[in-house]
Amino acid sequence: SAVISQKPSRDICQRGTSLTIQCQVDSQVTMMFWYRQQPGQSLTLIATANQGSEATYESGFVIDKFPISRPNLTFSTLTVSNMSPEDSSIYLCSVLQATNEKLFFGSGTQLSVL
Amino acid sequence: KQEVTQIPAALSVPEGENLVLNCSFTDSAIYNLQWFRQDPGKGLTSLLLIQSSQREQTSGRLNASLDKSSGRSTLYIAASQPGDSATYLCAVAGKTSGNTPLVFGKGTRLSVIA
């Protein structure tokens, strides 16, 4: 199974600032995904990040607010820009393992915006 | 648009009981269904994956069933233990795996009392 290291695990940020979340995978993967889990809600896909191309964003999410980098097959970052209290959530990265089609997740980033 | 519902939202049982968690989905044209476990402050751990052509999958004390025609899946946990306390999420993948994002339910929060 893929092992994903995600950091930071949590942060408290001021309104108007930006936070970059990093995900490192222990193996090469084609598809990486970024999810958001708001309090009491299910996971919502923000975007799909493929190496060598721009990320594909889901409805309601835009690149200016959530820029994503995918410089190689083992690493990705998600930036939450110009944060407001509504951005307070858990952010999770995940990868799809092609061999068994299972989705593996990082440990998540608990973000609180004051 | 696929919608996934999990009932109950929360469940508390004494140690040793067998229990069933329910998941329903509105579009039966799925590729697979996964059950995850989420511990507080941690990411998701994949428990079982059922392909659309399968009826059930088993891993240790866990058994997941799938009835695609009725849009339902159950997760059966035998002889529950306090260590089983967590939130259990089900998620369905659309017809093309890897290209269609998983749609998650809100989860069932399970407490097993010693």
pLDDT, one tens digit per residue, over B38-81 is 998 778 899 999 999 999 999 999 999 999 999 999 999 999 99
| CB proximity list for B99: less than 8 A, separation 6 or greater | none
User: Å from A106 to nearest chain B CA?
Assistant: 5
- Residues of A contacting chain B (CB within 8 angstroms): 1, 4, 6, 9-10, 31, 33, 40-45, 48, 58, 92, 94, 96, 98, 100-108, 110
Q: Are B75 and B84 in contact (CB under 8 A)?
A: no
Mean pLDDT of A17-37: 94
| Direct distance between the N- and C-terminal alpha carbons of chain A, in angstroms, rounded to an integer | 37
Residues B95, A16: Cα–Cα separation, whole Å: 40
Following DSSP, what letter does each residue of B59-73 receive, concatenated?
A: ETTEEEEEETTTTEE
Query: pLDDT tens, A52-106?
Result: 788 999 989 999 999 999 999 999 999 999 999 999 999 999 998 877 778 889 9
**Mean pLDDT of chain B, nearest integer:** 92
Spatial neighbors of A78 by CB under 8 A, at least 6 apart, are A20, A21, A23, A34, A46, A47, A66, A67, A68, A91, A93
pLDDT value for A99: 77
- Contact, A78 vs A93, CB < 8 A? yes
- Inter-residue contact A83 to A113 (CB < 8 Å): yes
- The residue among A73, A81, A95 whose CA lies nearest residue A28 is A73
Q: Which chain B positions have a beta carbon within 8 Å of A45's beta carbon?
A: 101-102
